[in-house]
Amino acid sequence: MSSKSWYMEQSRAVGSAFIHFRNSFQEKSVLDKKTSELIQLACACLLRCPHCTEDHLKGALDAGASKQEVAETLLLTAYEGAGTQLAWRKEIFEKYLGEK
């Protein structure tokens, strides 16, 4: 993220804090780069950010992730997203769709 981002122009102090927050993971994380990129890829896909998805897919591959590891990360993300959707409002779903 560059300092020319729209949010930096509108809120320099909070924008700078956001950039510092992001950078702290690159500098001080206990996770290795590959694991970090795979987690970020999963989040980017789940949140449907095309730019972040591509960046973290490339980042994971560059950090040594295999195509199989990327594929399983994406499948786990899809599984978790589907399971979360089904459980999201379980009480309401069961109230209207449960017992006959």
Dump pLDDT digits (tens) for 34-78: 999 999 999 999 999 999 999 999 999 999 999 999 999 999 999
CATH of domain 31-97: 1.20.1290.10
Domain spans of the chain? 1-30, 31-97
Give me the pLDDT at residue 100, please. 67
Give me the pLDDT at residue 3, please. 45
Reduced DSSP (H G I as helix, E B as strand, rest coil) percent helix, strand, coil of the chain, to 5:
80, 0, 20
Report yes or no on whether pTM surpasses 0.85.
no
Residues 6+ apart with CB under 8 A from 31: 39
Give me the pLDDT at residue 31, please. 94
Give me the pLDDT at residue 28, please. 83
What is the mean pLDDT of the segment spanning 7-23? 91
